[in-house]
Each structure stands twice: as C-alpha cells, then as structure tokens.
Amino acid sequence: MDLILSAIEILMRWDVALALLAGSVGGVLIGAIPGVGPAVAIAILLPATFSMDPIVGLTVLLGIYGSSMYGGAIPAILINTPGTAVNALTTYDGYPMTARGEPRRALSLAYSASFFGGVFSVICLILFAPLLAKVAPMFGSREIFLAALLGLILVVVAHRGQALIAGALACLGIFLNTIGMEPVKYTQRYTFDQDFLGSGVNLIVVVLGLFALSQAFVLLMDEDEKVHITKLRGGMSQGLRELARHPRVTAVSASFGVLMGMIPGVGEFTAQFMSYTYAQKSSKRPQDFGKGSSEGLIAAETANNAVPAAAMVPLLALGIPGEALTAMMLSVFYVHNVVPGPGLFQNDMDFVVALYLALLILNVLVLGFLLFATRALVQVVKIPNRFLGVCILTLSFVGVYSLRNSATDCLIAAGFGLFGFILKRLSLPAVPIILGMVLGGIMEVKLRSGMARVKEPLDFIDRPISFILFIIIILVLASHILRVWRDRKELKEAEWQNKTASTSFGKLMSRRKNSFLKDRGKEVRGRHSKLLRRLKGLF
C-alpha cells in the first residue's frame, strides 16, 4: 500500500497531469489520422522530451503509445482504413457494421473493448510488480545478454517470409551502433577519419529518418482522396453493455495481449490473431466473423490495447525493448541517467508503479474523451495527405537540428529517410534496424562484462536463468528452421501437383483433340466417297 501511495505522490504534479492529458488526447488524434501513427509522433516528440523530467517525458510518450490504438479504430471502422497498423484487424468486422448502418455500435464496442484490455493489463502488472522485483535481480550480465539476443532473434523470426532480410537489417543496426567511440577502451571504430562520425550515429536521428521522414515522403507522393464519413447519431455508451455479454472472449483476448506483450518481438499482431482465431473457433456463430461480428471486433481491440502496458515489462525489468516504440522510450531513460533493469526495480519501484498508474489513468481519460468527442474527432480523417507530409517533414528536421544544432545530422536523417522510403515501397521492415542498434549496444556491453568471469564456453550458461534462456534460443531457432523447411516442402508439393495437373490436362486435351480429328477425318472421307459414287452415277 505504501508503494502505491508513493507512486500516487509522484503523479500528483501539475506537469505530470498536463502530460497525461496531452499524451492521451494527442495520441487519439494521431491514431485517427491514417498514415501518421504513433511511431512518427513519438519520433518527432523525442527531442522535446529530453528537456523534461523522466516521469513527464515518459508519460507523454506512454500516452501517445497507449491511446493511439483507440483513435486508430475510428477510420478503420468508418472508412475501412486503419489509423495505425495494429488496427488492420479491426476493419474485418468494424467496417461491415458500418456498411449495414451500425457505425455507432461498432465504435462504442471498440472503445469499450480497448478500455477493458488496457485496464486489465495494467492491473495484472501492478499485482505482479512485487514478483518482478524479486526476479529481476537474478539477471546478471550473461542473462541480460542472452535475453537481448533472444529478443533480437524473436524480432527476426516474427517477420515470416522476410526473416532473412529482417536479419540482415538487424545486423545493419548492430553495425551502425559500433560506429564511433568504442565503450570500453574508447578507441575509434569505423570513423574513417571523419570527425562527424566520431560521436557515432545518433539513434534519434536514425529513428526520425526511418519513421518520420520516410512517412512524410510517402504522404507527399500519394494523392489526396475524398473521404465520405457516415454520420453518427445517438450516444456512444451502448458498447459497455454489449461487452458484458461476452465475458469469455474479452478475458481471453486480454490475457493473450498481456502474455504476448511481455515477449520481446511479438507484440500486438500475434496477440490479435491468436485472440481472433480463438474467438472464431469458440463462437456459436463463426460464419459471422469478417461480416460484422461483435465477438471478432472485441477480440481484436481487447488484445491490441492490452499489449502496451505488458510491453513495458522487459523494458523496465531488463532494459530490453521488444519493438521500435519501446526502443525510442529507452533513449529517454538514458538521457536522464535512469537505467532500466534490475536496479530500477530494487531502488525505484515507486517510479515503476507510477508509470503503470499513469497508464491506468490514461485509459480512463481516453474513454471519457472519446465518448463525448467522437463526432468532432472523425473530421481529422479528412486532413489531406500532402498537408500532413509537409508538417511531418518540417517538424522532423526541426527535431533533428535541435538535438545537437548540426546540419550534418539533418543530412544523415534525410539519407535514412530515403532508405526508409525505399523499404516502405518494397514492403520491407524498418523495425529490425532500430532494435539492432539498441540491443546491439546492450549485447556488446553485457558480453564484455560477462566474459570476465568465463573461463570455458559452458561457463556462460552455468546458471539456471542463463541456461533456460539458452535452451529457449535453441528451441526458437530450431522451430523456425523446421517451419521454413515445412513451408518449402509444401510449396514444392503444390508446384508438383500443379505441374502434374497441367500435364494431365494437356494429355487429356491432346487425346480429345486426336480423337476429334480422327472422327472428323472419318466423317470427311465418308462424305467424299458418297460424292464420288454420285458422280459415277451421273456419268
């Protein structure tokens, strides 16, 4: 109880309250605008948060992270265009509801499901905080190295069908992190006698380039489209009552979100599809899914909003981000000399609980805001793409220049922006680069400190947690290799069946053609013989 009171005392400040309000409302607005998304907004705001207190800056970023999915449901339901990438599954059942004249019901149901998922995950993590405080100190340098390596591997294998390119991009991120001053002996690496590379490649510059500038280029090149929005009539509270009719789907989906959020590299997409699949298989009306099923909409929105709070667990307990957004937040910790990891849970547990309480308050603020402001909020969907692109481009360059007052950083950001634009056009992931930069630095430092006590290779995994992490890494790699082998085997079988079918079809057509020609020849010869007999009769 004393811990919660200390956390409440941290939050009882006017600047924290203002940050909560700005983050929650701003996140909803950002999520409701298709083509922007929380990654772009957080990337732009990062330089500004460096001058704030840690709790204030993180509260703003958490507000955008946690509330953007609420706003992303609005265009997904009304115009079949997800506001954020994780709202793509919302379109499956949300837009069909709008098409049959139930937009208000779909929105209120999405808000209610999102609220339950967010609150459920925060409560679970507050209850488990004492347990995490006991487990976190068991992680030493070797364990954190293996956990970071596991997170990087999970990020790579999560890109099914693109694992090779994702691994290459992750390696690129690790290489970018090695440029500059080496962290132990302070020697120059890969600087090529260039002064601007002496301080390394700044993570925020790369983030702004890959996410903000690349998205600005995409918006500037896309044409503006006229958007027709269905008018909303009536109140927005009926979803709360309808949510209570599906307690099983709601609870299971929220649980999936919490579990998947705590695993680095997994995140919202896996949680959504697992909960959606479960809801469809356990439903009494599975044929309605994809056609406006309330259970499908509940499963998608509950799962994705349960992830943000859970994703803070590996970040706070081990200092390991599981995705690009939490990797960006990690830089805020480092700027203020607040080091996430076991020490944070031992020495600043009230700070950790304050962040979770901020997420809890955030969900309440967002739900109240949406219940009364949705009709006005839907108009942001109509903002032209090119206007958004110019705004993002301007704010991004201002943010990059404000970091070190360096025009070189602006050029580097522009280069990464162009690279990110190419990745987007080729449908390739940019997230592995960021995680490679962040996790690569963690792995290098922890590996060097851990190797000081290692005499033989097996000494690296001679402790229970390190051994368990090593076994998990082996199992993940083995399962991925097995899955790739099965996919290739199925592909070869499908190609062989298609080839056999086409060959059989060709033979069949050839036989039919020969038979037809043979019959046709007999018919023609018969006619000729009849004609010859008639001619002989005439003469």
The pLDDT mean for the chain works out to 78
- Quick check: 521 pLDDT over 60? no
- Asked if 283 and 293 touch (Cβ cutoff 8 Å), the reply is yes
Digit-coded pLDDT (tens) for 278-315: 888 888 877 777 777 888 888 888 888 888 888 887 77
Residue 484: predicted pLDDT: 83
- Only one residue has tokens 């667990």, namely 313
Distances in whole angstroms, Cα of residue 207 to Cα of each of 53, 232, 363: 22, 38, 27
Q: Which residue has tokens 């079988």?
A: 493
Give the mean model confidence (pLDDT) for residues 332-347.
Answer: 74
pLDDT digits (tens, 9 = 90+) for 162-181: 888 988 998 998 898 888 88
Answer for the pair 270, 158: CB distance below 8 angstroms, yes or no. yes
Window from 21-25, 473-477, 508-512 with minimum mean pLDDT: 508-512
367-414 pLDDT per residue, tens: 888 877 777 777 777 777 788 888 888 888 888 888 778 888 889 889
Helix (H, G, I), strand (E, B) or coil at 348: coil
pLDDT number for residue 103: 79
Is the per-residue pLDDT at 535 higher than 70?
A: no
Q: Provide DSSP, 23-69.
A: HHHHHHHHHHSTTTHHHHHHHHHHHHHTTS-HHHHHHHHHHHHHHHH
> 343-359 pLDDT, tens per residue?
777 777 778 788 888 88
Buried b (16+ CB within 10 A) or exposed e, 221-247: eeeeeebeeeebeeebeebbebbeebe
The pLDDT assigned to 235 comes to 54
Which residues are CB-neighbours of 78 under 8 A, at least 6 positions away? Answer: 95, 98, 103, 107, 229, 230, 378, 381
Predicted confidence (pLDDT) per residue in 138-158, tens digit: 777 888 888 888 888 887 887
